[in-house]
Structure formats: C-alpha cells, structure tokens
A and B are shown apart, each in its own frame.
Chain A
Amino acid sequence: MNKQITLLLLVLICVFNSYSQDTLQVVKVISKNKGLQKSSKITTNTTLVTSKELLKAACCNLAESFETNPSIDVNYSDALTGTKQIKMLGLTSPYLMIAEENIPSVRGASQAYGMSFTPGTWVESIQITKGAGSVVNGYESISGQINTELIKPINNIPFFLNTYGSTDSRFELNTHFNTTISDKWSSGLFVHGNTRIAKNDMNNDGFLDNPLAKQINILNRYQYYNADKGWVSFINFRYMNDKKQTGELDFDPNRDKETTNFWGSEINTERFDVSSKIGYVFKDMPYQSIGFQNAFDSHNQESYFGLNFYNIKQSSFYSNLIFNSIINNTMNKFSAGLNFTYDKYQEFVNVSDYSRIDNSIGAFFEYTFDNASNFSFIAGGRIDNHNRLGTFITPRLHLRYNPWEKGVLRASVGRGKRSANIFAENQPLFASSRSFDILDTNGKIYGLDPEIAWNYGLSFSQGLSLFGKKADIGFDFYKTNFKNQVVVDLYTAPAILGTHQVLFYNLNGKSYANSLQVDFNLEIIKHFDLRTAYKYYDIQTDYISGQSERPLQARHRFFGNLGFETHIKEKGKQWKFDFTYNWMGEQKLPETASNPEIDRLPVYSPSYSLMNAQITRTFSSTFEMYIGGENIGNYKQEKAILGSENPFGSTFDASIVYAPVFGQMYYAGLRFKIK
C-alpha cells in the first residue's frame, strides 16, 4: 500500500512539474525601521524579525540570532559543543516547527545542531509564531513555529563580504554573490566558512570551553520570476560540512580516540540539500495560486563522546502541494493541499542499531476569515497517516479581535503530535557517564509512544502614548498540556549506587508548561528604544520520583534591550549602539546527591545576569565595522564538568550547564557591500 501511494505521488509530482505552480504564502518583507515588527492586523501571534534586528547580535548563525528577542530564550546546551539551544514557551526546539522558507528544516537528526547550520548573514527575516500555528506545514509543532526567509537573489546586492573574529578565537567569513542571468532568472551563491583554531580553557578544568571547529557551508540558489505570466520558482543546492572537536586539552584524536588516555569527542556532520519551489498565481486572480515544494536532504553525523559512539544518517524527502483561493470574496480565503514526508534513519548508538524508515502522508484545509477591519480567524485541520503515529487529525484555531484602537486580543488552540528522537535530541547527555535506559517497550518509536500535546494561548497587547512617547504593553499567556510525553528523567536516583543514568519513559500522570510574558516597549526619544520583558514559567512533569519542575529551566526571567542610533548623515554615515541585559532566576539541576561530595551540585543553580553590547559604525552605505562583547559581566558557571579529574569515572557529566562556561568574549567584524 505504501509503495503504491509513493508511486502515485511521484506520478502526481511529474504531472504537476510539467504543468504549473507557486511559492506558498508570499511573505512581504517590509524594510521599515523597526527590527521587530508585530502587526495588529494579523491573526496569529507572530513577530517578524528583520535583517536589521539580526545585525544587533554577534549573530554567527541562526541559533544565535534570538538574543535580542524576548519571545525566544537562548540556553547553553552543553559545556562541550557550545551549541546554543533555544526554547519557546519553556519548551525546547524539538517542540517547535523550524522551517526554512516554509520547508521544515531542523528536524530528526539535525535537532541538536541544526540551527547552527544556517549562517546569520544568509537570513533575510525570521517569523516567530507563538502557539499552535498553521497546519499547512505539518502536525509536529506544539509550542510555536519559526520560519526563516533567506536572502533572495532577485532583490539583493551583487556582492557582500563579512568577516568576523573574536577573542575565543573564532573566525568567520561570509561572501554573497548575486547575478541576474536574464530578465526572469537570477542566481545567488553564498559561501560561509567558520573556524575556531585555538584551545580555550578559562576555568582551568583541563577541558576545552568551546570546541575546535571548522565549517564550510555553500548555498547556490536560482530564482525565476515572471510577473506577466504569474510564475515564480526557486531551486536551491546546498552543501555543508561541519567538524567539531572537544574534550580534554591534551586529547589528540589520532592518538587517543577509542582509548582512555584522554577524554575527547568529535562531531562531524555532512549535509546535502536540494529543494525546489514552483508557484503559479492565476491570471486576473491574485488571490488564487498553486504552489508545489519539494526538498530532498541527506544529513550524516558521525560522532563519539569519549567511549560513546553515536552515528546518525537521515535521508529525507518532503513534498507539499498547496492551493490557495477564496470563497465568494477575499474576506473568506482558504488553503488546501497535501504533504508527503519520507525519512530513512540509519542510527547507531554504540552497537545498538535503531535504523528505521518513517513516512507520512497528509491532507490539510485551512480557512481564513477576515472582515477587513477588526476581526479575523483561521481554522485549520489536517489528517495524516504515519507509519508509526497512525492516522490522526490535527485541528488548530486562531482568533484576533481589535476591541479598540491599537488594542489586539488574540486566542489560539491547537494540537500537535510527534515522535521523539530521543538520542538525537538528547545528544549532550552522551558526554556523561550516564547509561540510556528506555523503560517502555511496547511503543513504535524506540519502544515509546508518540508525544501528543494541546496548546492554548491568550494574548493582549495595547499601543499607548506615554508622556507623548510611543509605547506598547503586552501580555501573553500560554499553556501546553501533554496527553503523552516522552519523559527524560534526570532526577530519579540510580538503583545501584555509583552508576548514573537517564531514563526515558512514557508520561504517567500530568505534564504541562505554563508561561506568562509581560512586555513593555518604549521609544524614549526618536532612534532610542527600550524593550523589556518579564517571563514566568511553570513547567511541571510527573516523574517516577514524583512531580517536579523541568531541569535547567528558570522560573523567572527578565530581559531588557536598549537600542540607540544616530541620524544618518551624508553618504550614510551612522553610529548604532545596542545593549542587552538578561537575568535568569534559579534553575533546578539534575540529581547529583548520590555522588561523592565533591561532585555534587546544589538542587538549584544560583540566579545570574548576562550583558551583551555592540557598537556599529557605518562609514558609508557600502562599508561598516562593528565591535561588541558578550557576557561582559564575565559570569561563569562554577563547575561546568562534574568529575573532570576522572572523565572515564562514574561521576563524569558535562551535560549540566545552566550558565556560560567561557566568560566574557569580545568580537569585531566588518561588512562590505557592492551595490
């Protein structure tokens, strides 16, 4: 049956390829002054992050581009790889749909490091949607959706160069070339390279604070645009090779791999992607279009963490066919279509083989009502058939109402379902002496059941005039309720003293994540903006050892950002200043009470604050330089690696990271453009 479906789909693909099509919802990129844009006219709780905002952080890759944004929390995932993990509504990135130009990108094998595989300079804008989100791209998102738009060759500058260097000895080089091939075709070639060449150990524990790294990342894209006929298309080819080495300072991979001489780790990832989009907007009917997207990617990670070997290769095919039109008039719009996903995993954890093939096929329908003034809603549903998740329905609803001027009330509810890739998502735990124990055996995914959650959201924001200054205030309340969850248990004390473990099991009881965010933004004077947010998280799960808050999650967080820029003078001369402050409340830490006293951590981490700042000097419209500092207060986690004296011993754990390991870091860079 599955084979037949695949075949039929292939036939459809061929038919449609030679026939017609569109890119999906064409995202309008408004190059206004504001770095973060929230429109009161859109139905979902979406923030648009423009390229201007992205320039505010050191921002080497997508994972690092959210530091000036209160909707997303950036965490430090592990002491070894230094990869930043993001959270939204208190849930980690596996619970988000992360897409690149509406094609799901960070999923499955790429979950842990995927966001660091998109260089920051390639990004044109990012849309962050809190809550359930649209059903168009799939059923997996639970707490939100992040869609990244890359720069488009057609309206980008012919040449761009960016170099970057920092005191943690990381260097980056970005070059973009864009050319017009004909009046309808244009092409872009983006080349990114980064490297960290020196070993850093600021806390003198004998371990690298951040990995030695080497990445080459190349994207070649072709854009076709024919306004007369209504055809648009993109074809992308991409290659990425990323190598990281970390562990003890004296570790030499050639000599010490697979031995206990020194503890070390290497993570090598190679990716190859091809994707295409083709869209057709019907003549005389700008509201009616058809779009067809296809993506193939191959992701191959080969890695070891001390004596733990982990290899995963994922070959995926994704296809999405969408038809957009209206019912009677443009107040009633709809999208309907089909998705197909195929994933072949070849996954090896030490000697265990977890290889499998997943596939799913689904149909969706989404209706949008907009009375063109103060009320709109989006009601969507999809039905999917997945070889492990079964056949299921995903309903989602979003509402927006403007009760009075500058006031927006939004509500949303939706369901999400996903299979947890427990090893890929919890890779940092390999850098510990923990054994991985799966307690359930009857489920179809590593013996576990699919995760199912409902997300409910309510938000209100109001634009104000405060002493004649522009301001706005917002309240977001979201609740995620898990029907089932794959619980990652770091609390339950080991049965045999002196051993360590991480347990995976199906939720038995309750699990929820409540989050409240209060925002206040003020334009102090023209070009001088203040952004503040307070966030409260109450995230509780029933573990074997009883109900507890999730580990490494602060209950309270405070965020502040000040941005100032001077007026643009002749030839585009300008100064820009940016300062970000983050305060993190105490976080509950995994169980370490069974360790000998020197390798114990307190139950809660201390609270701490971080400060980042950047100054940009634009000399002309084609040349600018920037310098900045991260973690200027030089806050460092006291004990980043447990049992670092004996890395092959039973107390070794490099996965408990609640704060920066490296301390303060300064960087400088330049940008050069040819227009």
Chain B
Amino acid sequence: MKNVFLGMMLLFITLSTQAQEEKNKNAKYTIDVNGNCEQCQHRIQKAAFSVKGVKMASWSIETHKLDVTLNEEKNSINEVKKAIAKVGHDTEGVKATQEDYDNLHGCCKYDREETAK
C-alpha cells in the first residue's frame, strides 16, 4: 500500500521536473493555414495530430491560424505543414498539390489566391 503512494509521488516529481527542463519538447508555433469552415477545421487538426510529436493543434475558423505545440525531438514543424498540405490545405511554406486541393469538399474550396504571399 505504502509503496503505491511513494511510487505515485515519484511519478509526479519526475514528470514535473522533466517537463521544466527540456523546452524543445513543447515548442510552440502559430502558422497560417488556408481553409473555410468547421469541416476544414476538423480535417486540418486531424492532419496535424497525425504527425508524431504534435501534442496540441487548434485551428481558428476566424483567423485561419493554427496553433501547434510540438515535441521537436520527434518531428519538425515542416512535417506538420506537409501533412496538412497532403489533405488539401495550403500552409505558409508548403502548398497542397492541385490534385489534393480538388479532392476537398465543395464548401472547403478556399480561395487559393490569398495564399500567394
């Protein structure tokens, strides 16, 4: 019984100290991702989460910005961009192929001109 508590205690301490030392495990990025609606939101977030090391991903319908928290020991932000482009959404830096864009649902076909910058 006692050992269980001690074990739990140790676990807490280990977890908290680890988290505070290695910063790059929680690298934060905000990137522009093109999209329109709630469906896009689900698709973008799903794609981001499919990349190993992505802990948090949240895309805003209003601002078209994606907030990502990433463990950089596992992957770089570029991998996240690639994964999102693969499902049809342009990101700053990595663009979706025409084919992937065409596969998007009608309401998700965002205006591609915008991404030129």
Contact = CB atoms under 8 A, between A and B. Distances in A.
B42 A285 contact: no
A290 B4 contact: no
Interface of A: 1, 4-5, 8-9, 12, 15, 20, 282-288, 290, 323, 325-326, 328-331, 338, 363, 371-373, 385
Contacts of A287: 55-56
B69 interface: yes
Interface string B1-39: 110110011001001100110010010100000000000
A284 B26 contact: yes
Nearest to A383: B4
Nearest to B74: A328
Contacts of A331: 49
B77 to A, nearest CB: 15
B4 A363 contact: yes
Contacts of A288: 19
B57 A12 contact: no
A89 B46 CA distance: 38
B45 to A, nearest CB: 5
A372 B15 contact: no
Nearest to B12: A323
A372 B1 contact: no
Interface residue tally on B, bucketed by range: 20 to 34
B54 interface: yes
Nearest to B28: A284
A387 to B, nearest CB: 14
Contacts of A338: 5, 8
A285 B19 contact: yes
A8 B2 contact: yes
15 contacts: A5-B1, A282-B16, A282-B19, A283-B19, A284-B28, A285-B19, A285-B26, A285-B69, A290-B16, A326-B55, A326-B56, A328-B55, A371-B46, A372-B45, A373-B42
Contacts of B23: 284
B56 A330 contact: yes
Given A284-B69, A329-B57, A323 B15 contact: yes
Interface string B42-81: 1001100100101111000000000001000000000000
Pairs A-B, 4 closest by C-beta atoms:
A373-B42, A284-B26, A330-B56, A329-B55
B1 A12 contact: no
Contact of A283 (B15, B20, B49, B54): B20
A12 B5 contact: yes
Given A287-B56, A329-B55, A330-B56, A9 B5 contact: yes
